[in-house]
């Protein structure tokens, strides 16, 4: 799919911002501060990314007046950076993705290397490898790629631009590539952040029934080789799940969190956004993880059932012990 390109002056005018720098610079993408190039516009609205702001290669940055002096490149000053970023995603979003596609499943009906069940919809410019089997009721969005010998159970939904490797199994009613929970507060309403990225599943991945894996807001949500997900697991936008990691049922992982290789995460866990879990970590069921884990090992966080007053006392002691441990490690 072709990229949209805008002059920096056009972007500044669209956002009602104040441009400092080259008005004629051509911008073809929105990127994070870390991934940005000279053709990218990026954004800064959280102090914990100040180091990335100072070191970015972005052609331009959306920034508030309080942090403009940290920019080493062109910048656009806006009053609400998060809302401006959300609005900008709408400018770069390909409107064609909102149009109804045309079913191309008939193009694969005579291919002896591919099996397609009844009521399957396959969008435009889709690539299917040898030995792919797609059960009844599946949807494959435009520009998606499915590798050799991958098996889709009934009613799987694959959103556009998804990349699926070889020898994968995706069980019934799973959704790969839907938008994440991306909105920016603007006055008394929410501004939608269009998700411009995609999802990539490497080889030998198995996805349980009714799982949801969100497309990246920018870049990629990555499920690496050999990952196994139980039923009803949720992976939010821009997460990365490392090689051969296994995740139990009803665990939810919030956006931009990185899980290392060879991890085992029990069922019913909640993992917050923007943290990192080291390789070879085991997290026992019903754990609520709020901080990064920097050392391999076994971790537990589930609480026993008590009367509420006793539970409050127990959890206060437990939190203090965890804070002491975290400072030491």
Residues marked active site are found at 237
Rounded Cα gap, residues 265 and 280, in angstroms: 10
- Confirm if 225 and 202 have CB atoms less than 8 A apart: yes
Q: What angle do CA 49, 52, 57 make, to 5 degrees?
A: 145
Helix (H, G, I), strand (E, B) or coil at 98: helix
In eight-state DSSP terms, residue 293 is: B
Q: How far is CA 312 from the centre of its chain?
A: 35
Rounded Cα gap, residues 282 and 246, in angstroms: 10
DSSP, residue by residue, 1-21: -PPP-EEHHHHHHHHT-EEES
* Cβ neighbour number for residue 37 with a 10 Å cutoff: 13
Residue where the block lists tokens 């970023």 = 85
258-259 and 240-241 as β-strands: parallel, antiparallel, unpaired? parallel
Rounded Cα gap, residues 314 and 318, in angstroms: 6
Residue where the block lists tokens 């050999």 = 226
Residue where the block lists tokens 């603007």 = 186
Tell me how many helices (H) and strands (E) the chain has: 4, 36
């Amino acid at each position: 799919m072709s990229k949209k390109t805008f002059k920096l002056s056009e972007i500044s005018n669209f956002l009602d911002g104040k441009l400092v720098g080259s008005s004629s610079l051509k911008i073809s993408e929105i990127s994070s501060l870390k991934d940005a190039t000279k053709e990218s516009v990026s954004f800064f609205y959280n102090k914990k990314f100040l180091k990335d702001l100072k070191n970015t290669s972005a052609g331009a940055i959306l920034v508030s007046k309080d942090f403009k002096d940290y920019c080493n490149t062109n910048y656009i000053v806006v009053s609400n950076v998060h809302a401006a970023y959300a609005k900008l995603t709408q400018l770069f979003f390909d409107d064609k993705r909102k149009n109804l596609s045309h079913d191309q499943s008939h193009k694969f009906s005579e291919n002896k290397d591919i099996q397609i069940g009844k009521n399957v919809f396959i969008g435009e410019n889709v690539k299917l490898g040898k030995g792919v089997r797609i059960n009844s009721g599946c949807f494959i969005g435009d520009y998606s790629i499915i590798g050799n010998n991958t098996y889709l159970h009934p009613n799987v939904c694959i959103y556009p631009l998804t990349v699926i490797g070889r020898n994968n199994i995706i069980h019934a009613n799973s959704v790969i590539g839907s938008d994440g929970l991306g909105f920016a507060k603007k006055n008394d309403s929410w501004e939608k952040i269009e998700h411009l990225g995609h999802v990539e599943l490497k080889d030998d991945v198995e996805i349980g029934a009714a799982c949801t894996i969100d497309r990246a807001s920018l870049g990629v949500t990555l499920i690496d080789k050999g990952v196994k997900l139980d039923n009803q697991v949720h992976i939010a936008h821009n997460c990365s799940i490392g090689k051969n990691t296994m995740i139990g049922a009803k665990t939810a992982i919030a956006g931009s969190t990185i899980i290392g290789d060879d991890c085992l995460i029990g069922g019913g866990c909640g993992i917050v956004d923007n943290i990192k879990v080291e390789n070879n970590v085991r997290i026992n069921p019903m754990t609520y993880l709020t901080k990064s884990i920097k050392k391999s090992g076994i971790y537990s966080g589930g609480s026993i059932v008590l009367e509420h007053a006793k539970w409050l006392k127990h959890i206060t002691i437990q939190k203090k012990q965890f804070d002491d441990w975290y400072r030491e490690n």
